[in-house]
Amino acid sequence: MTDPSYLRLYETGELRARAGRLEAMLASCDICPRDCRIDRLRDEVAACHSGYLPVVSSHTPHFGEEPPLVGKNGAGNIFFGNCNLRCVYCQNYQISQRRREQRGNEVSFERLAEMMLDLQGQGCHNINFVSPTHFVPQMVKALLIAAEQGLRLPIVYNTNAYDSVEVLRLLDGIVDIYLPDLKYSDDGAGWKYSKIDGYVGHARAALREMYRQVGHDLTFDDQGLLRRGLIVRLLVLPNDQAGLRDSLLFLRDELSPKVALSVMAQYFPTNQATVERNPLLSRRIMASEYWNALDLLSELGLEEGWVQEFESADYYRPDFTDADVPFRDIRDFQGPLSSAYIPASAPLPVLSNES
């Protein structure tokens, strides 16, 4: 099994140099496209409500990711607290938007490195950083410590895609697997539902850079576990508020028709997705909306990747009041050897009559 590429950067000293360059960016923070320009080295906070130390809400083996990330023992998820977006339907809103409750979750860089090594010791197949955008310098600094102490797992960058291209370039050779969302194809929806300017342009530029680094080919080991590549996630929203067709056309025409996709059906109305505040998002997706999404894959010739089963919304409901097992429903519903995903090109299961 080939070692992750960040170990080569560690051996040459380049990983330490990248960590230093990224940390210096915190002095006038432009880590994400918000460009707040505050001094996070001095614990000044702005849009992401995060200062210098990383905020970690949970670290745990996780069985709800795509099959080649989960394997037998789970992905090694590290959930960062806070976020640079404000998605009204965020399923992780307990940790992404309740910033006051995250104030006790700051950890040292040494402790973050220990979490990585702990997940490796539990047999996890990768280190999956969830919502890492606003903590990239902290992530890389802790990774340097973990590499010194024997970390050998691939790094997954699990992001909302509102990322800085400059920062992503500094992650080239550090991140093995990019796992971005592509949330919207319209900036109006980005502002309405995530309170962010220019989402589409920034996210598409970020995906182009990720694709430049790893291409469309997925690299697996002899156990079928993903070691390197790009998987783009698309969450099916009610009333097609994500603009799925335009996003798929971008991926096909500007990246590759062979790019791996993960079409997700797990949406359920939570957080601020209420009839009063956001009526178009105030229900689960219908079976017809699910089938329309799958028909688009076929129509546009996109066959690589995975599709969540329609019933995913029944059990993919995290509760971060239990930091040790925030996704208990997934494990109880399926068990670690099962999966909520099927290959995108596989025959699809027959759904119930729900519409």
Please write the tens of the pLDDT for every residue from 196-226: 999 999 999 999 999 999 999 999 999 999 9
Please write the tens of the pLDDT for every residue from 268-297: 999 999 999 999 999 999 999 999 999 999
User: Look-up: residue for tokens 């182009």?
Assistant: 208
d(CA 162, CA 180): 9
Residue 17 burial (CB count, 10 A)? 12
Residue 108: predicted pLDDT: 97
Q: What percent of the chain is modeled with pLDDT above 90?
A: 80
Prediction pTM value: 0.92
User: Which of 131, 190, 126 has the alpha carbon at shortest distance from 153?
Assistant: 126
Q: Can you give the residue ranges of every domain in the chain?
A: 5-343
* Mean per-residue pLDDT of the chain: 90
Position 10 pLDDT exceeds 60: yes
Better-predicted residue by pLDDT, 105 or 248: 248
Q: In sequence order, what are the residues at sequence separation of 6 or more whose Cβ sits closer than 8 angstroms to the Cβ of residue 171?
A: 18, 136, 140, 157, 213
Position 343 pLDDT exceeds 90: no
pLDDT band at 348 (very low <50, low <70, confident <90, very high): very low
pLDDT band at 303 (very low <50, low <70, confident <90, very high): very high
Please write the tens of the pLDDT for every residue from 320-334: 766 677 776 455 444
Query: Three-class SS of residue 66?
Result: coil
Please write the tens of the pLDDT for every residue from 156-172: 999 999 999 999 999 99
Q: What is the mean pLDDT of the segment spanning 28-56?
A: 96
Topology classification of domain 5-343: TIM Barrel (3.20.20)
247-274: buried (b, 16+ CB within 10 Å) or exposed (e) per residue? bbebbbeebbeebbbbbbbbbbbbbbbe
d(CA 116, CA 132): 14
| CA separation, residue 131 to residues 55, 97, 274 (Å) | 11, 12, 24
Name the helix (H) or strand (E) containing 341: strand 341-343
Q: Is 349 exposed, middle or buried (0-12, 13-18, 19+ CB in 10 A)?
A: exposed
Position 340 pLDDT exceeds 70: no
pLDDT band at 352 (very low <50, low <70, confident <90, very high): very low
Please write the tens of the pLDDT for every residue from 47-94: 999 999 999 998 999 998 999 999 999 999 999 999 999 999 998 777
Residue 95: predicted pLDDT: 79
Residue 341: predicted pLDDT: 67
Residue 195 burial (CB count, 10 A)? 13
d(CA 273, CA 92): 13
For the ranges 86-90, 242-246, 299-303, 349-353, which has the lowest average pLDDT? 349-353
Residue 85: predicted pLDDT: 95
User: Which of 11, 16, 30, 64 has the alpha carbon at shortest distance from 308?
Assistant: 64
- The one-letter amino acid code at 116 reads M
pLDDT band at 313 (very low <50, low <70, confident <90, very high): confident
Contact between 86 and 97 (Cβ < 8 Å): yes
Contact between 216 and 260 (Cβ < 8 Å): yes
Residue 91: predicted pLDDT: 86
User: Which of 57, 90, 63 has the alpha carbon at shortest distance from 76?
Assistant: 63
